[in-house]
């Protein structure tokens, strides 16, 4: 499984469109740097949303289903980012092991 397949599967499960970061970069983009930046920004946003839902629930204003949904979304984003990180590290190790 590669990161693109993971991103497509994640988008299908969430019922949304493919994230901008998972699409091929267009001319003038920084490519991988933009991909990582967008993924980290999305992860931070979803984590903040989950924290907001937990705070509302603690204050008695939130719904438990909303908390669980927000936490699941944040967890899925974190797992996607970790999967991409693992693939990048693996590719780096392969490149470093190549004879010159």
Give residue-wise pLDDT tens across range 45-99: 888 888 888 888 888 887 888 888 888 888 888 888 888 889 889 999 999 999 8
Nearest Cα to 41, choosing from 20, 18, 68?
Answer: 20
For residue 84, is it within any domain?
A: yes
**DSSP summary character for residue 22:** G
Question: Global pTM?
Answer: 0.57
Query: Is the pLDDT confidence value at 18 over 70?
Result: no
For residue 94, is it within any domain?
A: yes
Question: CA dihedral defined by 49, 32, 79, 68, rounded to 10 degrees?
Answer: 20
pLDDT (0 to 100) of residue 93: 93
As for how many domains the chain has, the answer is: 1
**DSSP summary character for residue 24:** P
For residue 69, is it within any domain?
A: yes
For residue 85, is it within any domain?
A: yes
For residue 14, is it within any domain?
A: no
Cα angle 72-76-79, degrees, rounded to a multiple of 5: 140
Host domain of residue 65: 30-100
pLDDT (0 to 100) of residue 30: 74
């Amino acid at each position: 499984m590669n990161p693109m397949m993971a991103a497509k599967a994640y988008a299908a499960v969430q019922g949304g469109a493919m994230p901008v970061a998972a699409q091929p970069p267009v001319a003038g983009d920084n490519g991988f740097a933009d991909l990582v930046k967008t993924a980290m920004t999305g992860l931070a946003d979803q984590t903040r949303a989950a924290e907001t839902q937990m705070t509302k629930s603690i204050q008695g204003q939130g719904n438990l289903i909303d908390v669980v949904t927000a936490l699941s979304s944040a967890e899925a984003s974190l797992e996607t980012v970790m999967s991409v990180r693992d693939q990048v590290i693996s590719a780096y190790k392969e490149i470093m092991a190549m004879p010159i």
